[in-house]
Amino acid sequence: MKSKGMVYLVGAGPGDPGLITVKGRECVQKAEVIVYDRLAGGGILAHARKDAELIYVGKGPERHTLRQEEINSLLVEKASSGKTVTRLKGGDPFVFGRGGEEAEALHRAGLIFEIVPGITSAVAVPAYAGIPVTHRGIASGFSVITGNEDPEKEGSDIDWPGLARVKGTLVFLMGMSNLPSIAAQLIKNGKPGETPVAVIMWGTRTSQRTLVANLDNVARRAEEEGFMNPSVILVGGVVALRETLNWFEKKPLFGCRVLVTRSREQASMLSGAIEELGGEAVEFPTIKIEEPEDYGPLDRAIGAADYRWIIFTSANGVVYFFNRMFRLGKDIRELKGVSICAIGPKTREALEGFGIRVEYVPSEYRAEEIAAGLKGKIAPGERVLLPRADIARKALAEMLVKEGAHVDEVVAYRTVAGGGGREMVRSSLEKKEIDYITFTSSSTVKNFVGLLGEKDPAGLIDGARVACIGPVTAETARNTGIGVDIEARSYTIDGLVEAILEDRSRGMV
């Protein structure tokens, strides 16, 4: 008989995927089942196992996917079957998260559970809006109050007269539908109408919006400007500090949603750079990196002893080449006397990570410039090895052969179509919710079009600006009917990000 499972009740933080705790992320990584809310998905779920079962139980202002009792039963059912379950909740599970109710249900069923606290939106969301909940000389404390008290209750448990007298900061969570009555109750019980109020919607995300008003007009202003849940409402003098301390909304890519089409294994560098600059990276891995179908050619090349040069065209090629070499029982001493060329700084870094000294890095990454730079370095008749992707362009090899070199191209890894999140991406493009689309290789372009099944890709992406890592990728995009708005001058991820920043600074988005 299978033993009972385990449930982790995890606070995912307020929305920014980087704000989940280390322990919370570990619980996501090891879970067989993840039960998550609408405020706890996004980039956090990217850490899940590939075989994890993902169950959405989100509750919106107008509808619930599952009632709380059904969520409790679901957790009990999955854990009772022996599964390791992570219940992923926005903010902290014990701050108006109903985590206590879920823990009670698990206890009644005799199941083991752990509580993993999260960063509550009551503190984090104001911080991202430049508002500290306490500040010397202004507020020596803060109170966190539900803005969504159970409407079926007789009377209220909220001490409105007491709250109106509090000199510290008042923080109301999920209270947009009740904002008029919240403001009215505070004023009725003595809070001055000119008290500053901030309403922060989708806090800590690139879609964050902040409204600053007074207590006597905040409800009207919020309705006029379309504020709704999820929002945090702050009442108190600390709101005035936003004018000085606002930092997140001043980041250069704040408010931008950038589609990242790289493989999931490689997306983190570009996604991280976008998020560091205040943007939101929407990952749509159009390619996957996999092992060769037949290792024979690569194994024979690794076993050969007469190559004068090995040219690595990507960090992927480096990783797969050396992993295979080590699996065959060989080490870097096999490369004694072999000169190494690395195309691009990241390829060089990957080689240096294996303790390999790189002899030549071309300043330009197009085949013509690479071949020209190697002219005179590779003597006629010398053997050259190119371990690369199965779909790599033949131009470099052909040019080296023309110069008299004997070139062996071998498949070190395969690039195959990805496609996770296709419908979400299509919907976002149709709704004009994507500001930039990034392409880092020709294969990302081709697979992007193929996965979306578009006969008119330009029509689908109309409204988004297209950024390509270099001229070869840009040419592929144009050949598929996609107009290119941005072309990086330096054919690297850093160069691509810099080009997007320049475009944004010109007010193009």
Catalytic site residues? 37, 59, 174
Tell me what pLDDT residue 262 has.
86
Tell me what pLDDT residue 139 has.
96
Average pLDDT of the residues in 43-72? 82
pLDDT band at 366 (very low <50, low <70, confident <90, very high): confident
How far, in Å, CA of 412 to CA of 297, rounded?
9
Q: Count CA within 13 A, CB hemisphere, residue 462.
A: 6
Q: Does the pLDDT value for residue 482 go beyond 90?
A: yes
- Closest by alpha carbon to 179, among 201, 162, 161? 201
Q: Could you give the percent of the chain with pLDDT greater than 90?
A: 71
The percent of the chain in helix, strand and coil, each rounded to the nearest 5, is 40, 20, 40
* Amino acid type, 211: L
Residue ranges of domains in the chain, CATH in brackets: 6-118 (3.40.1010.10), 123-250 (3.30.950.10), 257-286+418-505 (3.40.50.10090), 291-416 (3.40.50.10090)
Q: Residues near 491 by Cβ (< 8 Å), separated by ≥ 6?
A: 344, 364, 365, 469, 470
Q: Does the pLDDT value for residue 61 go beyond 60?
A: no
Rg (CA), the chain: 28
How far, in Å, CA of 23 to CA of 113, rounded?
14
What is the three-class DSSP state of 448?
Answer: helix
Tell me what pLDDT residue 150 has.
60
How far, in Å, CA of 74 to CA of 66, rounded?
10
47 within 8 A of 28, measured Cβ to Cβ: yes
* Amino acid type, 298: L
486 or 346, which is more confident? 486
Average pLDDT of the residues in 291-302? 95
Task: Supply the pTM of this predicted model.
Answer: 0.80
Instruction: DSSP letter for 94, please.
Output: T
pLDDT tens digit sequence for 77-95: 999 999 999 999 999 999 9
Average pLDDT of the residues in 432-448? 93
Q: Does the pLDDT value for residue 487 go beyond 50?
A: yes
- Closest by alpha carbon to 12, among 4, 1, 20, 22? 20
157 or 323, which is more confident? 323
pLDDT tens digit sequence for 305-319: 789 999 999 899 999
Beta partners for residue 439, in sequence order: 468
Instruction: DSSP letter for 356, please.
Output: P
Tell me what pLDDT residue 152 has.
52
What is the three-class DSSP state of 201?
Answer: strand
pLDDT band at 64 (very low <50, low <70, confident <90, very high): low
How far, in Å, CA of 305 to CA of 290, rounded?
27
Tell me what pLDDT residue 25 has.
96
Tell me what pLDDT residue 1 has.
41
Average pLDDT of the residues in 204-209? 92
404 within 8 A of 380, measured Cβ to Cβ: yes
Average pLDDT of the residues in 399-406? 91
446 within 8 A of 482, measured Cβ to Cβ: no
Q: Which pair of tokens denotes residue 117?
A: 């606290």
- Closest by alpha carbon to 89, among 44, 36, 46? 36
Mean pLDDT of the chain, nearest integer: 91
To 5 degrees, how large is the angle CA 181–CA 187–CA 193?
Answer: 115
Tell me what pLDDT residue 373 has.
85
Q: Residues near 279 by Cβ (< 8 Å), separated by ≥ 6?
A: 206, 251, 253, 254, 255, 256, 257, 258
Tell me what pLDDT residue 43 has.
77
Give the H or E element holding residue 53.
Answer: strand 53-56
pLDDT band at 403 (very low <50, low <70, confident <90, very high): confident
pLDDT tens digit sequence for 142-186: 999 999 876 456 778 899 999 999 999 999 999 999 999 999 999
Q: Which pair of tokens denotes residue 87?
A: 């219940």
Query: From the centroid of its chain, how far is CA 439?
Result: 16
Buried b (16+ CB within 10 A) or exposed e, 472-491: bbbebbeebebebbbbbebb
Q: Could you give the percent of the chain with pLDDT greater than 70?
A: 96
How far, in Å, CA of 348 to CA of 343, rounded?
7
11 or 371, which is more confident? 11
Alpha-helical segments (H) within 304-386: 315-327, 345-353, 367-374
State how beta strands 84-89 and 6-11 pair.
parallel
